[in-house]
Amino acid sequence: MFNKILIANRGEIACRVAATARRMGVRTVAVYSDADASAKHVAACDEAVHIGGSAPKDSYLQWQRILDAAKATGAQAIHPGYGFLSENEAFANACAEAGLVFIGPPASAILAMGLKAESKRLMESAGVPLVPGYHGADQDPHMLQHEADRIGYPVLIKASAGGGGKGMRAVEKAEDFAAALASCKREAINSFGSDAVLVEKYAQRPRHIEIQVFGDTHGNCVYLFERDCSVQRRHQKVLEEAPAPGMTPELRQQMGLAAVAAARAVNYVGAGTVEFIVEQPPEGGMRFYFMEMNTRLQVEHPVTEAITGLDLVEWQLRVASGEPLPLKQEDLRIHGHAIEARICAETPDNQFLPATGRLDVYRLPASIEFLPPLPLGEVRGAGSPAAPQPVRVDSGVREGDAISPFYDSMVAKLIVHGRTRAEALAKMDAALAQTRIVGLSTNVQFLRHVVASPSFAQANLDTALIPREAGVLFHQDKVGLNLAVAAAVAQTLLAERASEGKDPFSRRDGWRPFGLTVRRFDFEYLGEPVQASLTYLHDGALQLAFGEASGLLAFDALPADNGTLMDLRFLGQRQTVQTWQRDEIVHIFCDLGATQITELDALAHAGEAAADVGRLTAPMPGKVVSFAVQAGDVVKKGQPLAVMEAMKMEHTIAAPADGTVAELLYAPGDQVAEGAELLKIQTA
């Protein structure tokens, strides 16, 4: 076994690898960029080496600097994590030439499976069923359009060297193909250094099911069952679970053996994932087609660890050091059900636009960072299912850290395990309900809506689940106006009580010798103004009224290490509510969900003018990729105007209203800050 390894990655996967290495007595070396100088993964390792600027191309993709850091610190091996250099065969070769072990497959396997087109030709020769499509080397746009027309719409354009949903577009009709192809190629070359694509038939209502495989240098190869990753947005996974609902033992074995055959075809060593598209035809049954192989550890590997009781990173280290696989196929068992939710900094109700900012409040459910492996006998045993495991959190950030535009938007992963899928679903909703994040927008409430949606709850899964369930997933505020206003008023009163001294004249309880004290509160909730009045009654009770709502408001402060925690009663509702206030915004959390309400200070906003509808600003920091218009062009509301790139993805900026383009204020390639005005539109 190695004495010391370098982890050539950042964030939660670097922390995850470090946790297993620490348990095994292996020392670790972190690498970090300018932006990550104080990052959690740096603190998680025994040593750390600075390797360059904040952008990945200036640091985490600079593999010569990483090799130099490994040699300088005496590391014997390099774990690449996922993303960045994890599937770069040149880096794997460079490690070998430098006398370092690459904790991953041989470079030849990465090369064979790294290019989607090549891997599909390899699988075709091996007899693995493929989705109809074009996987050739000719990349002429007219020829690709012709192939798409031949295959029949809808089609899927995919970056040949890609992964993680980048460089991928679904095209519904022929007239949209050229623009989608150009966007795919731009995103692909920025993310992977190659703009080659393939075109495939876009399967209707497919499921995305993948098989975890593991090989060693002694010729052994096993599959560690399947994961269902069908719930996706922008072709990126949102929720993953294992085992796949509805999977029969026969189909599991067929897909597992096909995955092992794919791995053996390239002499695979280490952890890998063979991904399949699974269709459920009207006549019944399931058909599966090879999609691609990811030659690395996957983001969603914790659900496989949860149902098998194994530590896949430990397996990686043991196999890379020359040991055989710890178990044979007949030794492996499935215990219970596991679900993983990816918490991301984004705004689901605004087309999942990535968010940046500081984690002012970052509170997760009572959890552990890693689930240690079960005793070997328990894994092998055929007795009762393993007991449910605690909630697991894999995260690379801490409270006070910033989510920057340089890297992926993922904040954390919540992993739950239960004896049954229903038990795991309940645990996931409870874990999400206990999650408190303030400072930037996240998808936590959206994830709760997905988990509770009829399709997901009933395991009616396919990659179109999110658009199909849009009516119950988006723009849903489960807390409601009544509770939001009551919580905001109660928080203000609790803060006032906390500031009172012993002097009776410092009390702010509304007492007066005659008449009643009435206070006015001005709020903004979901974009609408709300005026509330609070009346201090003679018996000490509080009467809260706004709109058509009116009732007694009662609350009691509860002990809390941060924020305001209260038992709140209003209009027949009783909830334990926790709030944090940042400037004028009150962030509200309870079992029903989370929301926010703005408590307006009339004096602070005096004299402010309405926003200028003729301005178009950058919704996040990033780079201007292109403009689709010129000064003088007449545009319609919703028309694409510009394309920005941020957090490794492209985002289209559309016209907010009809008008005429007055001026472009930046050029393609320019870096812009959040809120920067990109262009001006003159409206009627």
**Which residue numbers are catalytic?**
296
Q: Measure Cα distances from 84 to 34, 111, 192, 296, 652 in Å.
A: 17, 15, 9, 11, 25
> What is the rounded CA–CA span in Å between residue 216 and residue 204?
37
**Quick one: which of 640, 589, 506, 620 has its CA closest to 183?**
640
Alpha helices by DSSP H, listed for 444-555, are 444-452, 454-457, 465-468, 470-473, 481-499
Longest dimension (CA), the chain: 92
DSSP for residue 437 = E
Helices (H) and strands (E) in the chain, counts: 18, 39
Q: Kindly report the CA angle at 434 between 402 and 448, in degrees rounded to 5?
A: 90
Residue type, position 148, single letter: A
Q: Which segments of 249-391 does DSSP mark as H helices, in order?
A: 249-265, 301-308, 312-320, 376-380
In sequence order, what are the beta bridge partners of 294? 273
Cβ atoms < 10 Å from Cβ of 387: 12
- Specify whether the CB–CB gap between 606 and 627 falls below 8 A: no
Query: Could you tell me the two tokens for 165?
Result: 């949903």
Asked if 657 and 613 touch (Cβ cutoff 8 Å), the reply is yes
Among 464, 469, 475, CA closest to 451? 469
* H-helix segments, 74-127: 89-97, 107-114, 116-125
**C-alpha pair distances (Å), 384 with each of 137, 156, 327, 415, 454:** 52, 44, 20, 22, 30
Beta bridge partners of 6: 29, 78
Angle between helices 312-320 and 301-308 (to 10 degrees): 100
Distances (CA, A) of 54 to 10, 37, 407, 424, 440: 12, 10, 9, 38, 20
Distance from C-alpha of 252 to C-alpha of 514, rounded to nearest angstrom: 78
Query: Residue 374 carries which DSSP code?
Result: P
Residue 469 · residue 448 · CB < 8 Å? no
Q: HEC string of 33-54?
A: EHHHCCCHHHHHCCEEEEEECC
* Residues 528-557 as b or e (16 or more Cβ within 10 Å = b): eebebebbbeeeeebebbbeeeebebebee
Q: How many CB atoms lie within 10 A of CB 33?
A: 22
Amino acid at 420: T
d(CA 221, CA 638): 52
Distance between CA atoms of residues 213 and 295, nearest Å? 10
Residue carrying structure tokens 């970056």: 159
Residue given tokens 């009516």 in the structure block: 471
How far is residue 300's CA from residue 203's CA, in Å, rounded to a whole number?
23
Distance of alpha carbon 320 from alpha carbon 216, whole angstroms: 8
The answer to whether the bond into 467 is cis (omega within 30° of 0) is no
Which of 413, 415, 416 has its CA nearest to residue 396? 413
Q: SS3 letters for 153-191?
A: CCEEEEECCCCCCCCEEEECCHHHHHHHHHHHHHHHHHH
